[in-house]
Structure 1
Amino acid sequence: MTTELAVKATSLVKTFDDKEVIKHCNMTVRKGTIYGFLGANGSGKTTIFKMLMGLLIPNAGKVEILGKSSFENKNEILKSIGSMIETPVFYDHLSAKENLELHLSYMGIVNPQIENTLEMVGLEDTGNLPVSKFSLGMRQRLGIARAIIHKPRILILDEPINGLDPMGIRKMRELFLNLVKNHHMTILISSHILSEIEHIADTIGVIVNGRIVEEVSLSSIKNQFPDGLEDYFYNIMSGNGGKIHA
């Protein structure tokens, strides 16, 4: 497994209304891996993701994406990242294909494989159906399609399987693993469905009250917590210990 870093965040601090919500966070994500980012609601996961992309500027600290400062090279970095953060928004009167065509035109990308991408996320049969007629799960799938359509090197996904049925969840799981193995992407993913993170992640990062308290390999967690990721996460969140010993 590579030791090269796709993402390195150092001593990140972010305040809103004079309240420090992100507290000297450090994050390291190796290239070609899946990083499962866990935390309670309001713990700061989405804020961290936005800072990694340069959508929010930290009050202190720095972020390096693929070895470059995300703040000094924002436009270049954004082209290397695909993301779905919070609820995806589309042009509801347009079809899935038309939404992806418009997205690519904004990015200045030609010769897209739109049909192939829609097939990858299970939306190949939507035709001219406007997005206004899509279910929540279909909109999630389209959000993932939009995130990967330009073949980014890094994929940042905030609760990407919300609203998906069991078959959809499994399809997305297989897609994420395929993107890493065959398309050489690095994926950062947050989810409240711990069993899904347990299926795909190489590394787990846990954020508690605005601070990343641990980053550890999933294999180490399984060695010390035979009942799995849920037991590990519960122990950390409840203050009963749970940290992995080297």
Structure 2
Amino acid sequence: MYNELIVETDGLVKVFDGVEVIKDCCIHVKQGTIYGILGLNGAGKTTVFKILTTLLTPTSGSVKVMGLDITYGRDEVLRDIGSIIEVPIFYEHLSATENLRVHLAYMDKFNMNIEKTLEMVGLSANNIKPVSTFSLGMRQRLAIARAIIHEPKLIILDEPLNGLDPMGIQEMRKLFLKLKNNGMTILLSSHILTDIEHIADNIGIIANGKIIDEASIEQIQSQFSEKGLEGYFFQKIKEELKYD
């Protein structure tokens, strides 16, 4: 089960206004792992995440999530995905608890423990203040709660640690590891390499719209024993973009 691919793209292409922003992109995410996708700004991370969550339609190539082609199995796939893509949007006049109730109703999920989920991300179900009063960190915690509340098989998180203070980042790292140990698969991006290095099993480097390399953290730390993930990342980017 551990070695089964829960996300697999082959020759993925996305064209906007005649420009290929995703080019022959191939990703392989094993079930029950944490996969970190890393790249410079504009490399294509968010576009790939939008395709995987069916917010965008690929121009060509194949995309399988949980073994299903997302072109034909969209509804079934989305039931088992939780996600944060770009800036999360909430019902600003509702509380955190009320926002999660609306989300669960939309997902047609019942008997989920809202109080426990909020506690897991460091929020209180007793807080009846509207989300409009929340700090950036609190909003990010709520976004993570919404992504996991329906107990999805796959969680896709675009910069999930944005806005969190150092304590919050540490708490979310522990949470992600706990979710993995409970059988969830996590695909996430972050500009902070140490965030990924602390929790990921495998890494994909994206540049110019394609995955240029995939490796396990064990392989990276063995090959780049002194500089670790940072050394690996910058070497691959320099080779691809031909930096000096």
Length-normalised TM-score, structure 1: 0.95
Q: Which runs of 5+ in 2 are unaligned?
A: none
Distance in structure 2 (CA, Å) of the matches to 1:240 and 1:15: 21
TM-superposed CA distance for 1:71, in Å, is: 1.2
> Residue in 2 aligned with 1:117?
117
CA-CA distance at 1:207 after TM superposition: 0.3
Tell me how far 1:125 sits from its aligned partner.
5.9
Maintained 8 Å contact 2:90/2:99: yes
For residues 147-195 of structure 1, give each alpha carbon's deviation from its aligned partner in whole angstroms, at most 9, with x where no partner exists: 000000000000000010011000100000000102x000001001110
Deviation at 1:238, TM superposition (A): 2.3
- Whether 1:232 aligns to 2:228 is no
Q: Matched residues in 1 for 2:10 and 2:240: separation?
A: 27
Sort the Cα spacing of 1:126 and 1:133 in 2 relative to 1 into closer, same or farther, 3 A. Answer: farther
Structural mapping, 1:71-90, within 5 Å: 71-90=71-90
TM-score normalized with structure 2 length: 0.96
Aligned length, in residue pairs: 240
Asked whether the equivalents of residues 6 and 67 of structure 1 are also in contact (C-alpha less than 8 Å), the reply is yes
Question: 2: CA distance between counterparts of 1:240 and 1:228?
Answer: 19
Structure 1 unmatched ranges of 5 or more: 242-246
What does the per-residue CA deviation read over 1:17-61, in whole Å, with 9 as the maximum and x for residues that have no partner? 000000011111000000000000110001111111222111110
**Aligned-pair CA distance for 1:2:** 2.0
Q: How does 1:78-227 map to 2 (within 5 A)?
A: 78-124=78-124, 127-182=127-182, 184-226=183-225, 227=227
- Asked if 1:24 corresponds to 2:24, the answer is yes
Counterpart in the other structure of 1:244: none
Work out the CA distance in 2 between the residues paired with 1:2 and 1:163.
32
- Work out whether residues 96 and 125 of structure 2, in 8 Å CA contact, stay in contact via their aligned partners in 1: no
Q: Secondary structure at the match of 2:205?
A: strand
Q: What residue identity is the alignment partner of 2:202?
A: T
Instruction: Spell out structure 1 runs of 4+ moving beyond 3 A.
Output: none
- In 1, Cα distance between equivalents of 2:11 and 2:136: 36
Task: Tell me how far apart the structure 1 counterparts of residues 35 and 240 of structure 2 sit (CA, whole Å).
Answer: 24
SS in 2 for 1:140: helix
| Alpha-carbon distance, 1:111 to partner | 1.2
Q: Using the alignment, how far apart are the partners of 2:140 and 2:29 within structure 1?
A: 25
Q: SS in structure 2 opposite 1:90?
A: coil
Taking only the aligned residue pairs, the percentage that are identical comes to: 58
